[in-house]
Structure formats: structure tokens, C-alpha cells
A = this chain, B = another copy of it.
Amino acid sequence: MSDNKIPYKIYLTEDEMPKAWYNLRADMKNKPAPLLNPGTHQPLTAEELSPIFCEELVQQELDDTTPFIEIPEEIRNFYKMYRPSPLVRAYCLEEKLGTPAKIYYKFEGNNTSGSHKLNSAIAQAYYAKKQGLKGVTTETGAGQWGTALSMACSYFDLDCKVYMVKVSYEQKPFRREVMRTYGATVTPSPSETTEVGRKILAAHPGTTGSLGCAISEAVEVATKNPGYRYVLGSVLNQVLLHQSVIGLETKAAMDKYGIKPDIIIGCAGGGSNLGGLIAPFMGEKLRGEADYRIIAVEPASCPSFTRGTFSYDFCDTGMICPLAKMYTLGSDFIPSANHAGGLRFHGMSSTLSQLYHDGYMEATSVEQTSVFEAAEMFARVEGILPAPESSHAIRAAIDEAMKCKETGEEKTIVFGLTGTGYFDLVAYQKYNDGEMSDYIPSDAEIAESIAKLPKVD
């Protein structure tokens, strides 16, 4: 079955792993717009950001000129426990589809957090430790980011306070227990532990919480407790920087075997995986050295690229965070409750938004029943049960491979398999039982939340 002696899995050696992250912004002519102070609408300075983020992370957030930033040895040592991640040739999927396309995927799920989130969690924990902080706070919805952060904090002996949306806390006890096993304090949000939490509980006694509320609580705890900072798992420039390790490894593995991709596909919620996977390829494209089709895949029920507007907006539904210029559905937009497939963020990384705006990449949206259909097929032939988020990329990769079958083109497709679906089996059960449906927001629904965008000149 194998082809040109390309193995099923390409592993780099530890020596071949990247020693620096690649900062895509350095090669962008049109830089991503700066974060704005939500009060003054002026670009945020390092001073303004440092009560929220660690100092070195603030520098990374603001640095749009330095192309390579060294990965500290401590982080590289941690990476060695679960990286390099394999670049897998999907021989069995190709055979199943009967396509002449050559399909590869970069698999980020071989770690206990189950996703690529750990790549940035360990970096953010390292800088917090280096600055002598006591701990960090964050919010988590389904729990992927919270799990990654609790692992990273445990490694550096940092305190980790996770505010977990109450409904997830109750319905996803397994994620919660992984975090507790790693020593994190997991608090269902809204809680009595914060002022904002108490306020919300008083006003809405029966509420099951929301991501916006959890963010507010995490930020309050970070700013009120000396020695704490708040950390975020996606959207930010610093996160895309750390995630460039995915793309750098992918490119190094492909270069080793002389493989040149035609199409690069990633799922997009806040953009951390997609931004990381495409980074070095997009760099070549920006510098005019190579051309690639780059496709962002988002859920039809939360279509920020394909149906949102390119505008300044709040990153959080609580509207307390800085303003970012991005493709957004409005911070008021909440995907339908029947949406089980993740990628629920209303906006998108500023870096990716600028690149999309400038025509360097495409975007497509897919419905969740077709996503789970692709997930199931993939699981059966490739032996990995994929996360629903990752399965958006699988869906698009299969669709592109089937186009190749029609045209006979032997295109090389690479996609990001961001993680495993071991904690998403409630959604799989829904699919297995034939109880999953699709939801596409109406134009009026999107227009309504976009109408509430903050006015920025």
C-alpha cells in the first residue's frame, strides 16, 4: 500500500525539532491591527497589558517584526515528552476514498490533554514561572484548554485556577477530574468566589453559566490576587506564535521526504491550530517563495470567516477584554445549543483575519452531521477517534480528495488533526443514535449581533 517509501508516520528526531517559534507577523506587509483599550480605543501598551499577562508574553503579543523567537530549553524539554508529533500519511483513508490525492495529517492528539493546546499552555506556564508568579487563572468550556493548562502548571509547580462553565462542570466530570488529578482547582462558574460571580448568581440564581462569565471571574481573580496572571488558549498572537511548532515540524517532515503540499487545511475556532499549522507555509507565500491553497474550515453554526464582518470587537462575551480587529459574528453571538462540534468562538485571530482579508487564504463552512460522518469514516479507517473540532478539517480534506478523484489530479493535501475525541462521546452518542441535527443561523440573527459591535473609528 505504501508509496515511494514514505512511511505511515514521519517522525522527526529530537535534534530536528524546531529551536525557535516562527512569528508569521514579521512577514506580513499588512500587520494585524493592534489590540485596543476598550475605554479609550487607543492601542494597548505593554504597561497596560502587563497586569493581565506575563511580561515576556506581552512582548510576544506586541512583537510583529522579529521572525524567529527562541524556544527556551525548558519548554523544548517538555515538548520532547510528547513531541515531535507524527505527520501521518493517510494511506488507508486514500484507499477507502479511491482518490489519487495524497493525504497527510499532523496529529497533535498524542498527549493527555488530547490536543495541540498543550503547545501554548506549557509556554505560558513557563513564562509565568520565570517571572516568579504564584499561579495563573483561566476559563474553560469543554475543558480541553483547562486540561492542557493544568498539566503545564503541574510541571512547573504553579497554582492553576480554572473557572469551568457550570453546565460543563456538571456534564463533563471526566475533564474536570483530569484537571484535579493535575492539581488544578476547578470551580464551576458562576461561583461565590468572585464579585462578578456573586453578582450574576444573585441576578440569575439558576444559571448554568457561560464562557463570558467564566472569563470575567478568571480575570477578576488574576487581577485581584498578587502573583497571578490570566492566560488564554487561542485567538492571541502569542498563542499563534507558540503553535507555529506544529507547522514548523510539518514542514520539516515534508522537506525531509521532498513532499510539497498543494492544499493545507485546518479547522478554525479562535485560530490557534490553523495559525500554527500554516505559519511557515504562509511565510513562504507572503515572501513570494511558494504558493499554497490554504483553507480554514469552520462550523456552519458559527461561521465567523464566511459570514462575519471584519471589524473591532470584544474577545469575550462579557465585553471586559481588549478590542481586537477580526472577523466576527459579534461578541453577543452564541452558537445554537444543538451545536456539539466545538469551535464556538464568535471571532477569529487578528492575524488570520488580516490574512484572510488580504486574500492569502480561503474559508469554508461545514455542517456538523457531515462533520461527524467524516469523523466516523476516519476513525474506522485510520484508527484514531478524532475530536469534533479536528473533524471539520477531515471533512474538508475528504471533500478536496473527492474532487481529485473526479479530475484525476494527484494533489497533496495536508490537514491538522488537532486532537482526539475521547471526551466528546456524548456528541458521538448523539450522532450514533441519529439524534444530531444541523443549525445554520439566519441572516437576521447574525445581523442582530453584528449591529451591537462597538463603534471604533
Chain A positions within 8 Å of B, measured between CB atoms, are: 1-2, 7-9, 11, 13-14, 77-78, 80-82, 88, 91-92, 110-112, 114, 151, 154-155, 173-174, 177-178, 180-183, 376, 379-385, 420, 422-423, 425, 428-429, 432
Contacts and interface: CB of A to CB of B under 8 A. Distances in A.
A237 B420 CA distance: 33
The 9 closest A-B pairs by CB, nearest first: A8-B80, A174-B425, A177-B425, A154-B380, A112-B385, A7-B14, A422-B422, A177-B429, A81-B383
Chain A interface SS verdict (over half): helix
Nearest to A152: B383
A245 B379 CA distance: 23
Contacts of A155: 92, 380-381, 383
- Of A78, A177, A379, A380, most B-chain CB atoms within 10 Å: A177
A85 to B, nearest CB: 10
Contact of A380 (B183, B376, B382): B183
Nearest to A383: B81
A382 B82 CA distance: 9
Contact of A178 (B77, B151, B385): B385
B111 A383 contact: yes
Contacts of A420: 112
A425 B181 CA distance: 9
A77 B11 CA distance: 17
A156 to B, nearest CB: 11
B429 A173 contact: yes
A151 B92 CA distance: 14
A306 to B, nearest CB: 29
A385 B181 contact: yes
A435 B174 CA distance: 17
Nearest to A432: B180
Contacts of A14: 7-9
B111 A81 contact: no
A184 to B, nearest CB: 11
Nearest to A77: B1
Contact of A151 (B81, B173, B180, B383): B383
Nearest to A157: B380
A181 B151 contact: no
A81 B92 contact: yes
A378 to B, nearest CB: 10
Contacts of A432: 177, 180-181
A181 B112 CA distance: 21
Contacts of A91: 77
Nearest to A153: B380
Contacts of A2: 77
Contact of A428 (B80, B181, B422): B181
A154 B378 CA distance: 11
A110 B112 contact: no
Nearest to A78: B383
A243 to B, nearest CB: 18
20 contacts: A9-B14, A9-B81, A77-B91, A81-B88, A81-B382, A82-B383, A111-B383, A112-B420, A112-B422, A151-B383, A174-B422, A177-B429, A178-B385, A178-B422, A178-B428, A180-B428, A181-B376, A181-B432, A182-B379, A182-B380
Contacts of A88: 81
Contacts of A111: 383-384
Contacts of A8: 14, 77, 80-81
Contacts of A80: 7-9
